């Protein structure tokens, strides 16, 4: 039988007691850790020994502003959501508790500053002779899958479905499966990414008959003092997995025109792919499936239609066929 968490009775419920019992009621350890930051620091700033019923709504808003008013938008929204859940939870159980005031609003997620490159620019960069086959394959795969760079770099050959042109990746924010007692917590729900013909042609050339280990590996074996996970080393060649930092430096070398650090970012392939799919008429649900986003507002940051695409849509308002 699951344990029923109850709050202390009476009006003398303290801020700390309410926070502790709320956090104890959360089952997922990741949620406890994330909520514990917002709820714990808020309780400490309010005064842990104060009766919760004596805290005013505006005090909650002032503490949120003081602690996270200058933080990133996602941080503000996360901490505000944690405190909101805590106070709602207390009121639902019949206790007097303040509310997050209306003026301490959830903030809209800003558009990403990462640019979207044109198809022509991507094709030309990948086609350059000085770009190694490994990087050609990585860049093409990042673009065609619209996957995150860490997800694609983390793929092993055993994960690839060559016939179906797809593989599974542990996506950002991957959810833990419902598990039976004794099962490992690393039993994640995996997401599937898909690639197209150009990646399908490049992969066999890159692998050269290798059948296991990381898809993207370094050109040198790791030094004797470096500890590498067995999954991150090719068992046949001893080469280690290409890291995100190494891949970022290589891309910068290929694309920087105003000195080191001014080139493209690996994330631009994802932005570009989703933008091009949106311009081609892919629905919002299809874009969410491709990007593995759960909320439409998060996907909006990645869609950056070109001026030409906006002009094309605008022409639909004209009478007749204005594109003749």
> What are the catalytic residues?
148, 177, 267, 270, 293, 302
Q: What are phi and psi of 228, to 5 degrees?
A: -125, 135
- Alpha-carbon span 217 to 251, nearest angstrom: 15
User: Does residue 187 come out as left (phi exceeding 0), alpha (psi in the -120 to 50 range) or beta?
Assistant: beta
- Alpha-carbon span 163 to 111, nearest angstrom: 37
Residue partners of 234: CB distance under 8 A and separation at least 6: 210, 212, 213, 214, 217, 240
Q: At what angle do helices 57-68 and 29-46 cross, to 10 degrees?
A: 110
Secondary structure of residue 238 in the 3-state scheme: coil
The 3-state secondary structure of 137-202 reads: HHHHHHHHHCCCHHHHHCCEHHHEECCCCEEEECCCCCCECCCCCCCCCCCECCEEEECCHHHHHH
Q: What are phi and psi of 320, to 5 degrees?
A: 75, -160
């Amino acid at each position: 039988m699951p344990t029923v968490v109850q709050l202390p009775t009476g009006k003398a419920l303290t801020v700390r007691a309410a926070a502790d019992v709320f956090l104890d009621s959360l089952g997922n350890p990741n949620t406890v850790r994330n909520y514990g930051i917002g709820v714990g620091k808020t309780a400490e700033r309010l005064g842990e020994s104060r009766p919760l019923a004596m805290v005013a709504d505006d005090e909650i808003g002032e503490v949120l502003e003081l602690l996270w008013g200058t933080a990133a938008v996602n941080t503000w929204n996360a901490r505000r959501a944690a405190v909101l859940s805590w106070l709602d939870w207390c009121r639902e159980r019949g206790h007097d508790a303040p509310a997050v005031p209306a003026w301490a609003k959830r903030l809209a997620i800003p558009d990403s500053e990462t640019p979207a490159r044109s198809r022509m620019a991507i094709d030309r960069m990948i086609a350059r002779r000085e770009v190694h086959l490994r990087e050609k394959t990585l860049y093409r795969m990042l673009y065609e899958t619209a996957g995150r760079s860490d997800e694609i770099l983390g793929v092993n050959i055993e994960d690839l479905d060559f016939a179906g042109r797809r593989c599974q990746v542990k996506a950002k924010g991957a959810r833990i499966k419902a598990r039976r007692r004794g099962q490992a917590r690393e039993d994640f729900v995996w997401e599937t990414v898909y690639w197209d013909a150009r990646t399908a042609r490049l992969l066999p050339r890159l692998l050269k008959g290798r059948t296991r280990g990381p898809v993207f590996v370094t050109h040198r074996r790791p030094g004797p003092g470096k500890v590498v996970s067995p999954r991150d080393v090719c068992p046949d060649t001893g080469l280690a997995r290409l890291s995100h930092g190494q891949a970022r430096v290589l891309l910068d070398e290929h694309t920087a025109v105003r000195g080191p650090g001014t080139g493209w970012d690996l994330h631009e392939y994802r932005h570009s792919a989703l933008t091009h799919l949106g311009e081609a008429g892919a629905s919002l649900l299809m874009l969410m499936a491709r990007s593995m986003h759960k909320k439409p507002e998060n996907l909006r940051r990645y869609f950056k239609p070109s001026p030409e695409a906006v002009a094309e849509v605008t022409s639909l308002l004209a009478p007749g066929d204005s594109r003749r």
